[in-house]
Amino acid sequence: MYKLKILDSNFVTHNVKRFIVEKPEGLVYRPGQSVNISLNLPGWENELRKFSFTSLNDWPYLEFIIKIYEDHHGVTQQLGKMNAGSEIFLHDVFGTIQYKGPGIFIAGGTGITPFLAIFRAMYYSGNLKNTGLIYSNRTQHDVILHEELVKMLGPAYMNVFTREGVIGFKEKRIDKKFLIENISYFGGLFYVCGTLDFTEQITKDLISLGARTDSVVI
């Protein structure tokens, strides 16, 4: 376990906060991996929550992008109040998404975080090819790091908004019809990350459209 200082923090959307944390010597992690984190605050030391690394192992610091849930009165609400100088505990690192090669990535909300690390690793090594992203959020104000995703993926990056807050806006969902309209080949690799419901429903739809069970990484 490591005790680490937050070096910097800022809100990247109205409820998502980016943390820059000092990197301990000896820590090694891969894109797509996550870690259990707790807080060095009285009573919070043993409240472990899972977060994905969005930084890369060769960066001199760690980065986490974390949605703050004010109404859970849990760890993320505390993180909403923590800034440079506060301390966190880093516990065990574990695999979340295993990168197997180019494919279509489908993310909902903060489900983008493990994908962000994978895209960054591929982009900086010049290998981000034949990769598409379908990124679902409630509104455009909920999209995390939009400009960077545009820079890395260009036209292979598509947004879907389930609510726009505009009268007359037709709610869009990533359902079977949407997948048929937007994906022409189901024989490749798919990566899906989001809430349990989101992941289960999309995986089921992809498989019913011809994707192989072992080609859908969740």
Is residue 49 at the binding interface for ligand FAD, with CB under 6 A as the rule?
yes
Compute the distance between CA of residue 21 and CA of residue 140 in angstroms, rounded to an integer: 28
Amino acid at 74: G
Q: Enumerate residues 6+ apart whose C-beta is below 8 A from 181.
A: none
Minimal CB distance residue for ligand FAD: 74
3-state secondary structure of 7: strand
Is residue 34 at the binding interface for ligand FAD, with CB under 6 A as the rule?
yes
DSSP 44-76: TTT--EEEE--S-TTSSEEEEEEE--GGGTSHH
DSSP bridge partners of 202: none
Kindly tell me which of 75 and 153 has the beta carbon lying closer to ligand FAD.
Answer: 75
CB of 140 to ligand FAD, least distance (A): 19
Compute the distance between CA of residue 160 and CA of residue 177 in angstroms, rounded to an integer: 14
Is residue 137 at the binding interface for ligand FAD, with CB under 6 A as the rule?
no
CB of 41 to ligand FAD, least distance (A): 13
Kindly tell me which of 20 and 183 has the beta carbon lying closer to ligand FAD.
Answer: 20
Kindly tell me which of 49 and 172 has the beta carbon lying closer to ligand FAD.
Answer: 49
Compute the distance between CA of residue 2 and CA of residue 25 in angstroms, rounded to an integer: 10
Binding mask 50-79 vs ligand FAD (x if CB under 6 A, - otherwise)?
xxx------------xxx-x-xxxxxxx--
CB of 208 to ligand FAD, least distance (A): 25
Is residue 199 at the binding interface for ligand FAD, with CB under 6 A as the rule?
no
